[in-house]
Amino acid sequence: MKSYWFGDVDDGKCIPFSGDAAAYSRRVRVIRTNMDVFVPPDWKIAAACGICRDRAEYLSLLQKVCIAGSEQAVREQYAAKDVELLQMVRTLDEMDTVINVLSERVADWYQIRHPSFSRKYRRTPAHMLVKSVSERGGGGALGKVATGITGLSDTRTALAKEVSARACEVMPNTSALIGGLVAARLLSHAGGLKELSRLPASTIQVIGARTALFMHIRNRAPAPKHGIIFQHRRVHNAPREIRGKVARVLAGKLAIAARLDFYRGYAVPEFIEEAQVRIDLAGTIHGDNMR
C-alpha cells in the first residue's frame, strides 16, 4: 500500500482521506514511506480517489494543505518555551548597547558645557556622570536626556531580573551551574535551547569569543580559552595557569546540562550537585592534577 497526502492506494484501489486542510497537513507529517518503492503522486491518482476533478483543483487543494502545514509549524515554533526568553535576552543586550552609547554621548555633552570637568571626567564612569546629572534635575535638554537614560537603566535592571527568573524555568540545570543571566546569553548566542543542546563542549567554551577566535584563525593569535562562561566565578577567579582547564570542565558540564534541559525539561539535583563539585575542584590548584 502506498500512502499519499490525499489517501492510500493499494492494488489500484484508492481509499481517500477526508478532512480539512489542517487535517491533511497533520497526515503529511505522520506518513512514513519507503522511498525505494515510492512513486511521486500525480493529480490523476488523486482524481481517481475522488479528491479533485482536474489538475488545477488538485494544485489548489495542495496549496491549501501546504499553507496549513506552514501555519502549524510556525505556531509550534513560537510555542516553544525558549522563544520568549530568546527575545527577552536579546532586548536586554540591545538596551545595554543603547544605554552605553547614550551615556557616553551625555558625558561628552556635559564636558562641552563644563570644560573644567575634563580631567575629572577621565576618572569618572559615564554612567555615574549621567546619574549625577539626572539627580540634579533642572530644565534643559541635557537634564531630560540624562533622566531618560536613568529611567531606561531602571527598566533594564527590572528586565534583567525577569530574564534570570525565566532562564531558571526554561534552563533549570544550565542556570543552576552558571546563573540565569549567563545561561540566557548562551541560549541567545546559540539561537535556541535545541541548538545549544546540540553544541559540543568545545564550542560552548568559546561562545561569545568570536573576535578572538577569528584572530586566532587568521593571524595565529593565541586560541581563546573561554567566552561568555568567563563570567562564572570559578573561571574568572581561577589562577591564569588553570583558567583554561576550569573553562573546559565547566563547558563539559554545561553541554550535559543543556541536553537535560532540552530533553527532560526539569532540574536534576544529583547532576547539579556532582557538576558543582567537579567545577569547584577544577578551580583549585590541586584540581589541575585531576584527570
pLDDT at 216: 62
pLDDT at 138: 60
pLDDT at 291: 41
Handedness of CA 70, 75, 79, 84 (dihedral sign): positive
pTM of this structure: 0.73
Cα gap 258→123, rounded to integer Å:
42
Q: In what order do the strands lie in the sheet with 2-4?
A: 2-4, 7-10, 13-16
pLDDT at 271: 96
Pair 169, 265: CB distance under 8 Å: no
pLDDT along the chain (291 residues), means of 10: 82 83 86 74 84 90 90 78 92 95 90 72 76 79 92 95 95 95 94 94 87 70 79 85 89 96 94 93 60 41
Burial of 131 (0-12, 13-18, 19+ CB in 10 A): middle
